Amino acid sequence: MKIARIGPVGQEIPVLVGENGQLRDLRGIVDDISSQALGDGLLDRIRQSDIGALPLIPASGVRFGPPVADVGKIICIGLNYTDHAAEVGLDLPGEPTVFMKGCRPSGANDPVRLPRGAEKGDWEVELGIVIGKPGMYIEEEQAVDHVAGYCLFNDLTERSYQMELGGQWTKGKSFPGFAPMGPWLVTGDEIANPENLAIWLEVNGHRHQDGTTANLVFGVAAIVSYLSRFYALEPGDLIVTGTPAGVGLGHKPPVFLKPGDVVHLGIDGLGEQRQTILAWED
């Protein structure tokens, strides 16, 4: 099952995404896809409803907002693909590298503004995990029970803020608009194995990242279990699991985003995103 939120910023409505991209209005079932609704069994309520009776909505030209209205924490895993750690010259960590993103998620295809004067904007296609059931000290064997579903995510980064100003990575990760999420939240029953999905990203039609989630160092269950030792995981929390090789920083010499660039990314079964890069003043 795929669910999403469509409409202008701040006015999104919940929809079910069917075969061939058909959209059905979910407002007869729920006001919005919120963390509270996810925690209160929204996915089961949709499954038990008469899908065919839900009104169809014309799908052409719609904007997809983030598929959860009020994502709580955005917890990020760094250096979680062997090839990516090598390209940025950092050792593979023995324990998961964890940092937070401090901005709100944006829509899959919303434009991305670069920080004023910044020249090292970079891309990171990632598999996102949305939590559906609260928990702490979650065993790996139970981790999947706490997952509402998966989504596509671009962990946009200003490398100069991340790596040249001292302190913590979060400075380079939290600029407004640096968290495109979606277009959909895809439930686990539709993803046979989240650790065997093609994951890719192109800039201006040139493929930079071309990987597979099979190369995750710490997999989905391990990450959920590990993070639950440190964080109370709550419905609506988003965990993004790291990026494969091919980021701009990994090129020799490095390649960074500039206004006018178009970033196009996707993961098998989780849809695609396309962002136009703008200057802060645009």
Q: Which residues bind Mn ion (CB under 5 A)?
A: 124, 155, 243
Q: Least Å distance between CB 122 and Mn ion?
A: 10
Q: Could you tell me the smallest distance in angstroms from the CB atom of residue 48 to Mn ion?
A: 36
Q: Where are the beta strands (DSSP E) in 155-246?
A: 157-158, 185-187, 198-203, 206-212, 238-240
DSSP 181: B
User: Minimum distance from CB of 201 to Mn ion (Å)?
Assistant: 12
Contacts of 54 (CB under 8 A, 6+ apart): 16, 24, 25, 26, 28, 29
Quick one: 124 or 237, whose CB is closer to Mn ion?
Answer: 124
Distance CA 48, CA 216 (A): 34
Cβ proximity to Mn ion, 4 vs 74, nearer residue: 74
Minimum CB distance to Mn ion, residue 57 (Å): 33
Which single residue brings its beta carbon nearest to Mn ion?
A: 155
Q: Give the CA-trace dihedral at 131, 268, 52, 41, to 10 degrees.
A: -10
In the complex, least distance from residue 157 CB atom to Mn ion, rounded to whole angstroms: 7
Least distance between Mn ion and beta carbon 70 (Å): 22
Structure tokens at 108: 């899959």
Nearer to Mn ion, 228 or 243 (CB): 243
Residue with smaller CB distance to Mn ion, 123 or 184: 123
Identify the burial level of 59 via C-beta atoms within 10 angstroms of its C-beta, where 0-12 means exposed, 13-18 middle and 19 or more buried. Answer: middle
Q: How far lies 206's CA from each of 245, 263, 266, in Å? A: 14, 9, 14
Q: Specify the residue, 64 or 169, whose C-beta has the smaller distance to Mn ion.
A: 169
Helices (H) and strands (E) in the chain, counts: 5, 17
Q: Considering the complex, state which of residue 6 and residue 76 has its C-beta at the smaller distance from Mn ion.
A: 76
